[in-house]
Chain A
Amino acid sequence: MQIGLRAKFVLSLLATTLVWFAVLAVGAWSASRAGEGVLRESEDSLRAQGRAALAERGEQLAALLADTLTNPVYYTDLLSVREAARSTLNQPDVDYVLVYDGQGRVLHDGSRDIPRFGQVMDDPLAPAAIAAHAPLLQWSSERLDASAPIAIGDLRLGGVRVGLSLARTEGVIALESARTRERFRQAFAGPAHVLGLGFLLLALWLVLAGWMVARGLVRPIRELAGNARAIERGRFEAPLESGRKDELGELIRAFARMSDSVRRHHHDIRKLAYHDSLTGLPNRLMFRELLDEAIGEYRGSDTGLALLFIDLDDFKRINDTLGHDAGDEVLIEFAGRFKRALALLDAPAQPVLARLGGDEFVALVSGGNGRTHGERAAISVLEQLKQPFVVGNHSLLVGASIGITVFPDDAHTSKLLLKHGDLAMYQAKQRGKSRYHFFAGHLTQAAAERLDLEHDLREALESGRLDLAYQPIHDLASGQLVGTEALLRWRHPRRGNVPPSIFVPIAESSGLIDALGDWVIERACADCRRWQSALPGMSVAVNLSGRQLQRNDLAERISACLERQQLPAGLLHLELTESSLLHDEQLAFAALGQLRQTGVRVWLDDFGTGFSGLSHLRRARVDGVKIDRSFITDILSDPEDLALASAIIAMAHSLGMQVIAEGVESEAQFALLRDRGCDLAQGFWMSEAIGPDELVQRPRRVLSRSVAALP
């Protein structure tokens, strides 16, 4: 059992009182004992005095009687004897007077008829009295027997005995004791009253102290405890206040300050946990809670909720090209515009905004017709984006794709609602961006598949289920194996091999492309480094996506990778498509320049398929071009393709670039390209893509028998 402070205090007061009472009781007891002792001593003293006085008196009385009685006894004058005896007997404490002769026979006892006359006294005190020749005092429990002989000269006539009662003395003692006791009592009565009053005051004080402690100490402490419990449960109630000047007041104020501090920290932490630090908007966590609440609230009602799932179009590019700070500025600005857009809405309830992460935002518009309100909100947001974002010296137009789902029409749970919102947003993006799209059930399949693939790709990358295959590249003139092109292979557990044409766009759109690209380069470099012992000078080519090129730290990352893998920069070839240069040419060419400075070789992939190939070629300053396979396929049969290929070869050579042909599937193609001066070739005829370890076991050289046959 826990004993409360008040109980302890009251108990301690009680204990103090008891101790005090005990001390007083012991004091009173010892005083009373001392008093009893004094009384006893006083009684003893009184008794001794009384006895001494009685003895003296008895002695005198006996002597006087003996003297008085001498002559009457001598003459046996019984009348006179009686008179003397009577006068003595009349005294209040005289029990008896016995006059006796020399033989101890009673001569007179003061009575009229002397019934004992002539009888020898036989009481216990008699013999000594009879035998005595001098006055004698004998004490019994009840009286003093004073005797004196009666004699004339040496003539012994007899004696007289006087019995003096002790009762009178004892009575006097009792009376005196009673008086003394009364005096004691009176002497003690005053202090006893004072003590009684003291105890009464103490009892009152006890009650008062208990009340004061309860009021002044226990109650504030209990309030503090209650407040602390409320804070523990996360409820920051009105802080305690106290004007008290004492330690408790200080404690309460300190507690209030601490409570305030905890409240602020709690608020901050909560904000950190529930808010997006960049935009100040609620984060995914909070939004999920709010969404759950709203769903719970609106479940069963005829009004709906509309969820807007917003994704900024091409935001990745802003981050990659202008840096994250610029991206952050865009996000902050967008959040502001987003708020304004929704604030302008005439919605029954204030819409909830949140940033789910990256460039994904959501809004929850509640009340009324969900579909109508959602649409209005989407329009309003898109309206806000018509003004360009100014970031530094750049003025950017940022679009957004908005998916709208409606509760309870499209989904019944918050999770599903968010997913459908995401899908609808994806649909909007598919439809051409900067638009909104309502979630429609029939769209779900493709979009869901895409989402699944994205999810699976992420997982594959993280769990190492991706592989690189290498297609050998041979020198056309010597047939010597000089390099390889790294090709990404994804063996999906259910879908089997997924071609890069499917998953690369997904990686690009989901942002996975960065991690994927890094992984490929790292892996390719590592493999190439291993080959060097068996195949010195063996190069490896890696395809770069346009997104990767937009990263302003690309060159640094590649340098770091080369250093890590200890691979000479010249052995790493990067292949870029023409289209990847088209997003932001200036940026792309700058990136190319940086790459070339690191020493890696840069090739243009799929050369000939773009529209502005030549101008790019002039400005890009690449190491070589790869003739697109579409030219090679029909090179033997189509003179135009041959002419184009030959022209590309000639043009590249004239610019100091090398040329590689891909998709060489026959010996004839190989021979023709060799004859036309093409430098390198890859294709099924030489080898399909193989694993890294398999490569070193391959023949180092291919020989075309038909070469000689050609003119």
Chain B
Amino acid sequence: MSPWRQGLFLMWRFLGRGKSHPTAVVLAVGWGTLSMMILLAFGEGLKQAFAEGRGALTEANLVVLWSGSTTKAWQGMKPGRAIRFWDEDLQALKRSIPEIDEVAAERSSWSTSLAWGRSAITARVNGVFPCYERIRSHIPQPGGRFINEEDMRLRRRVIFLGPELKTRLFGDKEAVGQTIMVRGVPFSVIGIMIEKRQMGMYGGPDIAKATIPITTYAAMFGDNPYHNLVYTVKAPARPADIETRVRETLAARQRFDPADEGCVRFWDTVKMREISDKIVIGLQIFLGIVGGMTLLVAGVGLANMLFVLVHRRTREIGMQMAIGAKPTVVIARTVGESLILAGIGGYVGIALSWLIVEGVQRLPIQNEAMQFLGKPTLSIPLGVITVLVLVGIGCLAGALPARRASRLNPVEALRHE
């Protein structure tokens, strides 16, 4: 039997006996792995939630335009003049800027009363164009549809509901095909939007809004200007590339200075995505640093524990050397012990983090905070790296004092208190 095998045999035979405190080492590595894995799992969940929410508003190079008022005198007109968007503005944009893919307008009515049976609530109702479905990801659940051209032409009283709104009105009951009252006027529910998570929004989350054809909206609420325009830009063009031309087109129609930034406010979601990308990278760097520090603390604790373990065993090592154990036996036993204990600790840590992550995923809490927290996702490769790092630290922390002890004169080791 080689000295390495002798050392490993001793380790195996006496693991957990005497002063070795294996539970403490297992717990130290397990805790380090657990902390690291949970941190990374929640970080990954947050990152995914960010990416998903961002996707809900920026999937097609979306730009939202709001009208403001002039801040400069222009062509004999005083500053402070309100700018309003009309259908002609929308058509002008569509005609003069070929990079614009689709353009739509929105008109909104806040706190509109909606009623179905005994349920009565208030919500925001938007008048929109059919292409809004694609531009703003108003995708209907199976069994329903979005507003179409016929609805527009015939000014049908049809309504498309956000899922949260549907639940508030109908609970679990089927809504499509039902008639609800909008400010006392009956509307047929034609579809329910699929669930979507928004990290960026204006006028509240889409899941809590109702949409009707903009022509029906005009008939019901009056033919007023649009509240805002939304358009998408054809790739490879970017919204920033055509922003000046959009401003000039609208300025020519509405007679304001194209350099007067107060007249039209742009929300370029591509720019927002770039910013949020940077936030995600920052978040990852932050989590990496916190994770690294956690690992460092766990490693130092583990190293200290193993150092004490070997130190307390010095006399025993001296006795073994006196009766013929070679230095390799001493090192093999300690390294083997570090490997086994750190390995078990790592396994326990990964198993516990898996349990916790699974538990969190199954929690019935559906509030927004939990939604923004996202779905924690375990990264097994990172877990394995964590365990390997801790095992490596464990091996070093065990091997160095064991090597020192194995080089001691057996007499000195035997005298060790």
Same complex? no
Q: Chain B residues in contact with chain A, CB under 8 A?
A: none
Q: Chain A residues in contact with chain B, CB under 8 A?
A: none
